[in-house]
Amino acid sequence: MNTRVKLATAAQTDIAPAEWQARVDLAAVYRLIAHYGWGDVIYNHSSLRVPGEQRTFLLKRHELLYEEVTPANLVKVSMDDDLDESAGVNRPGFTLHGGVLAARPDVNCAVHVHTETGMAIAGLKHGLRMVSQAAVRFYDRVGYHDYEGITEDFGERERINAALGQKNRALIMRNHGLLTVGRTAREAFVLMKTLIEAAAIQLRMEATGGALVEIPPQICDKTARQYEHHDSGRGSADWPAYLRMLDAIDPKWRG
């Protein structure tokens, strides 16, 4: 087993405060995904770069349900390793997240889900349309990656990263699912929540068969920039509220 993979449950007293806070934030992302019904038993992943360690990141143990994730049982891995599942983490998850975090130094957190809504939008040739305020958050900031099967071949990383680019905040993985990236756990989670909402709104609108009102490009560009300003400032005020919500659901989640 690779010695750089820590499988034992971590103790807060043995971890730097910045890393422990990162563990709390990532555990919160997993718990929130479970709360909103976006999980898939033990599959799919969210990741977070370890503060001060550019080439290491945190990931869920493969066998754990999302509602079983805590700060202490997250696994710390090196993105420079070549891991199989005996290391305790899922190889497709390691392949996707390790590749994205390595390619985007501006990104610290990535969230990937296979919701039915996300897979439906990922199967539409025209993709995400600018027909709601939620969708506009991703104007000129979403990439598309063609389906290549289960993501376990490191060779696919190059094509995923090319589709994500250096400025996109989301990736629609065709016939597969959704990926969002952010500077913080809060940002990546909120972007995923918004992207799923945008997809659901569009699918409902298209199902009516009526003509859709497309938001003009200049308004899309203005609003997307407003959202980026919001996320870098007052938007972060909602993260403590999400954590309080988790405290009310299960006070032991921080353990």
Question: For 170-191, what is each residue's pLDDT tens digit?
Answer: 999 999 999 999 999 999 999 9
- Residues with Cβ within 8 Å of 89's Cβ and at least 6 positions away in sequence, in order, are 5, 59, 60, 61, 62, 75, 77, 83
Q: Which CATH class is domain 12-242?
A: alpha beta
Q: Give residue-wise pLDDT tens across range 53-104.
A: 989 999 998 888 999 999 999 999 988 887 766 677 778 888 888 889 999 9
pTM here? Answer: 0.90
Alpha helices in the chain, H assignment, sequence order: 17-35, 91-103, 116-122, 133-136, 156-164, 185-207, 217-231, 238-249
- CB neighbourhood size of 209 (10 A): 6
Record the tokens describing residue 209, joined without a space.
């068969």
Pairing state between β 170-173 and 177-182: antiparallel
Shortest CA distance to 59 belongs to which of 78, 41, 36, 40?
Answer: 78
Residue 180 to residue 193: CA distance in whole angstroms: 9
Q: Please report which confidence band the pLDDT of residue 206 belongs to, taking 50, 70 and 90 as the band edges.
A: very high
- Which residue in this structure is represented by tokens 């891995």? 77
Q: Distance between alpha carbon 216 and the CA centroid of its chain, in Å? A: 28
Residue 103 to residue 248: CA distance in whole angstroms: 37
- Residue 44's alpha-carbon distances to 54, 188, 237, in angstroms, are 23, 15, 27
pLDDT at 153: 82
